[in-house]
């Protein structure tokens, strides 16, 4: 075979992938294993081979953690506006909102309401990382704050499951940043009322969300291998001009450094929450 020039034979590309019917199989984003969808669903959308936790939608998360159809979302009708008339390079902010509303079938990146968890009354907030990266603008901040205030007013335990790669939402500028104060201040009152708040961190929870309510749980749980931190890994690498160590900013790293109480496998999450609520007197909804 000549070293230079054209090879004397023709390469015929043969796809090694067998054609798969749509929607029957899913490839694991971490180990590449092809998983039968039915198996994935039965396994709480966790890869049976490497235990990679697929990102859940808000409704999947609610179904995972609450009893039957006990979840009743607050009907607040809150909708985002475009106070900055934000001018980005492509598409307006309202267009992006509409796109993600269609994609996720959600009005906004957070869904909050009353629910029962193994019979115990709770207030539950969930962010959906598919909706503008789960970022917090005025509406997400207001929804989370109202959920906290509802829990305080009704003496209920509060659980917030965070999934936000975006932190504070750029398109609403400083109005977004101020939601960090709003949610944290509401938690100060909930805390003052001696009510429990359990923060559950999922992949990914970063920046403004992690630097406000998500970090303020009495107990903080994390799903395995979730990316959790303040500054995104890419920005850190660019700043310090070096590669980040393996496992940096993952749940296990936070556990090791003392910022997470427990790393909990998804299949054990509901029972762990129930167990914690038992300790805090969650059944009566009041300190006992």
Partner 1 sequence: MAEIWLDFERPIVELERHIEELRIIGTQGEFEVKEEIERLEKKAVKLRKEVYTNLTPWQRVQLSRHPRRPYTLDYIKEITDEFVELHGDRYFGDDAAIVAGLGRMGGRSLIIIGHQKGRSTSEKVERNFGMPHPEGYRKALRVMQMAAKFGKPILSLVDTPGAYPGIGAEERGQAEAIARNLREISILPVPIIVVITGEGGSGGALAIAVGDRVFMMQYAIYSVISPEGCASILWRDAAKASEAAEALKLTARDLLKFGIIDGIIEEPVGGAHRNPGEAARRVKEVVLNSLEDLNPHSPEELVRRRIEKFSKMGVYKE
Q: Under the rule (CB under 8 A), what is the footprint of partner 1?
A: 76-81, 83-84, 86-89, 137-139, 141-142, 145, 167-170, 172-182, 184-189, 191-192, 207-208, 210-216, 229-231, 235-236, 239-240, 244-245, 248-249, 257-259
Query: Which token pair is 173?
Result: 């500028």
DSSP structural state of residue 52: -
Output the smallest distance, CB 4 to partner 1, in A: 38
Segment holding 113, helix H or strand E: strand 110-117
Give Cα 246 distance to the centre of its chain: 22
| Smaller CB separation from partner 1, 30 or 76 | 76
| Smaller CB separation from partner 1, 207 or 263 | 207
Output the smallest distance, CB 286 to partner 1, in A: 22
| Smaller CB separation from partner 1, 31 or 188 | 188
Q: How far apart are CA 217 and CA 247, in angstroms?
A: 23
| Smaller CB separation from partner 1, 22 or 192 | 192
Please count the other Cβ atoms lying within 10 Å of the Cβ belonging to residue 205: 29
Output the smallest distance, CB 71 to partner 1, in A: 22
Output the smallest distance, CB 165 to partner 1, in A: 11
Q: Which residues contact 151 (CB under 8 A, 6 or more apart)?
A: 122, 123, 157, 158, 190, 195, 197
Output the smallest distance, CB 265 to partner 1, in A: 23
| Smaller CB separation from partner 1, 27 or 194 | 194
Please count the other Cβ atoms lying within 10 Å of the Cβ belonging to residue 63: 13
| Smaller CB separation from partner 1, 47 or 139 | 139
Strand 120-127 and strand 25-27: the pairing is: unpaired
Three-class SS state of 185: helix
Output the smallest distance, CB 77 to partner 1, in A: 6
Three-class SS state of 3: coil
Longest dimension (CA), the chain: 83
Which candidate, 198, 223, 226, places its Cα nearest to that of 213?
198
| Smaller CB separation from partner 1, 41 or 256 | 256
- Distances in Å between the Cα of 150 and the Cα atoms of 160, 201, 226 are 13, 21, 29
Which candidate, 139, 154, 126, places its Cα nearest to that of 57?
126
Output the smallest distance, CB 150 to partner 1, in A: 14
């Amino acid at each position: 075979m000549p070293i230079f020039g054209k090879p004397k034979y023709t390469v015929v590309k043969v796809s090694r992938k067998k054609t798969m019917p749509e929607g029957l199989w899913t490839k694991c984003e971490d180990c590449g294993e092809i998983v039968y969808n039915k198996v994935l669903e039965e396994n709480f959308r966790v890869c049976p081979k490497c235990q990679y936790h697929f990102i859940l939608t808000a409704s999947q998360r609610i179904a995972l953690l609450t009893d039957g159809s006990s979840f009743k979302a607050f009907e607040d009708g809150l909708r985002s506006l475009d106070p900055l008339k934000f001018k980005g390079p492509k598409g307006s902010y309202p267009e992006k909102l509409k796109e993600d509303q269609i994609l996720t079938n959600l009005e906004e990146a957070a869904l909050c309401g009353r629910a029962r968890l193994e019979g115990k009354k709770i207030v539950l907030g969930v962010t959906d990382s598919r909706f503008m990266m789960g970022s917090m603008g005025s509406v997400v901040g207001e929804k989370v704050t109202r959920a906290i205030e509802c829990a305080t007013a009704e003496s209920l335990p509060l659980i917030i499951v965070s999934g936000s790669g975006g932190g504070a939402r750029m398109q609403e500028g400083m109005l977004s940043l101020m939601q960090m104060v709003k949610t944290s201040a509401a938690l100060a009152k909930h805390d003052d009322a001696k009510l429990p708040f359990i923060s559950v961190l999922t992949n990914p929870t970063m920046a403004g969300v992690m630097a406000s309510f998500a970090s303020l749980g009495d107990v903080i749980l994390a799903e395995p291998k979730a990316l959790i931190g303040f500054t995104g890994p890419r920005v850190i690498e660019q700043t310090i001009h070096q590669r980040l160590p393996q496992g940096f900013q993952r749940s296990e790293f936070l556990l090791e450094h003392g910022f997470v109480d427990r790393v909990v496998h998804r299949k054990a999450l509901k029972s762990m929450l129930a167990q914690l609520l038992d300790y805090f007197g969650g059944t009566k909804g009041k300190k006992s």
